[in-house]
Structure 1
């Protein structure tokens, strides 16, 4: 640019040569002609200089803008990196604050369970009273305080017996922990009907081909001790009774009872390998009473099954143990129970009582000579040891 201005300055200050090469003066016409050429050349050089200046100015402006643009791009890039980092942090926070998986409504704890001792281990100790009352005729008897986890009174409470239909308490518990819809249905099969009939099991009275709700199967298993309901429930949950029994024994292991308890069926049919102690059954009932759905089923006095084609008005069933003991003085209220019977174990019963002072108890007896005798034995034990 400096060179252009210098050249321009020299051109403007050069004097026009008014003579020819031979020294002769130019004529007027020759002078005008040369003058015209000189003016055109000067104007051309001036225009060229102006263009050069404009080009340099424009170039400088463009370079300046490009510099700003690069700086903005760099800043944006830094901002993007920063935002990306922030995004990672936000993702991490969201991942860490995810809500826990919802618990199945059929696994919810009962309100009573808040008062129970933790675990399923109770020892018969020197402080445990021996049940020697002449009014308790069952060969085996046990009373457990659920609030402090002690064996209050016992008579052969740690001897193995066949639990008969008290088995169905565990059937109820395992089923409740694995169902997802109480209104789902299962069709009673001929095989189940034949099995229940051939083993002379008590039954609700469901018909082959009848479509039964899971809810009806739960109540049918406990209230009338229905073998048909228990079998349907087992096949609905596990596909077969064998697979369901495996689940039952897994539950015994989970509760820490597998050393002294083992089941071979979901009904309570006699089998030498189907056994538990009264203490085991007390802990099974405790686990069931800790489950809100099981607690509701075990405490229901009367229930009517759903209307079906085979039973348009449903079937009304009852928990006769609760209905028969509710007017007896037990120094509290028996709010849950399950009975059982096989020839080898006589009449059995497991009941859950809330005493007048709010203490929670479980009583289990076996080998009574009648169902009424079983009930009176529970009344006597509650009356003697919870007052």
Structure 2
């Protein structure tokens, strides 16, 4: 790797961006809570309840405390020394809760692990061992994309492929775009190359471009997991999804990672792309057509207005065939489905199709 590499943004800028993103997520969480409260209690009734509670509290205070002028001087120090307990911290912004309606899945799907989440309501619609650790395989690249997108400032900048990256991909038998040593690649194309053909060469190039090394980028990935409130159940050791006993998450974690990615405009654009044509280079004079196999095959199974607007598959022997996807209903509601340990890549598609059609499609689309 280039020892003279300098990160494209300073640590101060990175911290400012994290704070800004955290504030945005907290705002969305508050808005979601208000929506849920409006659904539970009509606005008029809620206002009446608030007025009654405040009035009752005021009467209680007035009956139990002496008038202000009757408070003795000796009581003032005691009152001033009363301890203040800070309110509890708000939960992580990307969460989903099981409800009485949450369905526990069984043999109706092939996958050993699954979760279906209503992103707007923040509820789990169906699940199957959703809190069990798995190796996420190449679904890992959803987080790789998100971290890279949050740090890149110039999509037209370029990266020159190195032998370190091509050797890593060859030794570990990774899926690749097919980028060659010395090939100059626009950063924008690396984003698409990471997701559509699941290119480890593109992912490693992004990691090196953003953080200077693969190892430094993985640190950013784990910082992002902590920021998302997932660090207790998820930990990554590489940006491509190679098997490692310390590289893990749950399907629930992956659904929330995908949720965060789909709220990033650039990530959503990449995750929703069916194909992408790269610019010609001396190594590839005609360019390359990158394709998202999963999206192109699952979309034909939905004939109504319900659409699959993002997806990423993965496979390692230890985890079987995995897939993470996002579906959008006609009203704009987003649903997230993640499965693991299907017997084949096609079976993963069948499982996602069945889960969306059963739990997410609107009646007019059935």
TMscore range, shorter length:
0.7 to 0.9
The equivalent residue for 2:85 is none
Quote the offset at 1:116 in angstroms: 9.1
The equivalent residue for 2:55 is none
Name which of 183, 188, 206 aligns with 2:156. 183
User: Would the aligned equivalents of 1:170 and 1:248 in 2 still touch at CA under 8 Å?
Assistant: yes
The residue matched to 1:314 in structure 2 has which SS? coil
The equivalent residue for 1:385 is 359
What CA distance in whole angstroms lies between the structure 1 residues aligned with 2:199 and 2:133? 24
Instruction: Map residues 171-250 of structure 1 onto 2, 5 A cutoff.
Output: 171-250=144-223
Q: Does 1:276 align with 2:249?
A: yes
Quote the offset at 1:273 in angstroms: 0.3
Name which of 314, 318, 339 aligns with 1:365. 339
User: Would the aligned equivalents of 1:171 and 1:248 in 2 still touch at CA under 8 Å?
Assistant: yes
Quote the offset at 1:117 in angstroms: 4.5
The residue matched to 2:258 in structure 1 has which SS? helix
Instruction: Map residues 1-387 of structure 1 onto 2, 5 A cutoff.
Output: 117=32, 119-134=93-108, 136-329=109-302, 332-387=306-361
User: Would the aligned equivalents of 1:204 and 1:227 in 2 still touch at CA under 8 Å?
Assistant: yes
What CA distance in whole angstroms lies between the structure 1 residues aligned with 2:303 and 2:352? 8
User: Would the aligned equivalents of 1:116 and 1:148 in 2 still touch at CA under 8 Å?
Assistant: no
Give the CA RMSD over aligned residues: 2.1
The residue matched to 2:300 in structure 1 has which SS? coil
What CA distance in whole angstroms lies between the structure 2 residues aligned with 1:103 and 1:199? 34
Quote the offset at 1:184 in angstroms: 0.6
Q: TM-score, normalised by structure 2?
A: 0.73
Quote the offset at 1:133 in angstroms: 4.9
Structure with the greater alpha carbon radius of gyration: 1
Change (3 A) 1:211 1:116: farther
What CA distance in whole angstroms lies between the structure 2 residues aligned with 1:342 and 1:163? 9
User: Would the aligned equivalents of 1:161 and 1:277 in 2 still touch at CA under 8 Å?
Assistant: yes
Deviation digits for residues 266-319 of structure 1 (CA, Å, limit 9, x no counterpart): 000000000001111001000100000000000000001121110111111101
User: How many residue pairs get matched?
Assistant: 279
Quote the offset at 1:356 in angstroms: 3.7
Q: TM-score, normalised by structure 1?
A: 0.69
User: Would the aligned equivalents of 1:193 and 1:228 in 2 still touch at CA under 8 Å?
Assistant: yes
The residue matched to 2:98 in structure 1 has which SS? coil
Quote the offset at 1:355 in angstroms: 2.0
Change (3 A) 1:116 1:249: farther
Mark the runs of 5 or more structure 1 residues left unpaired by the alignment: 1-101
Change (3 A) 1:116 1:145: farther
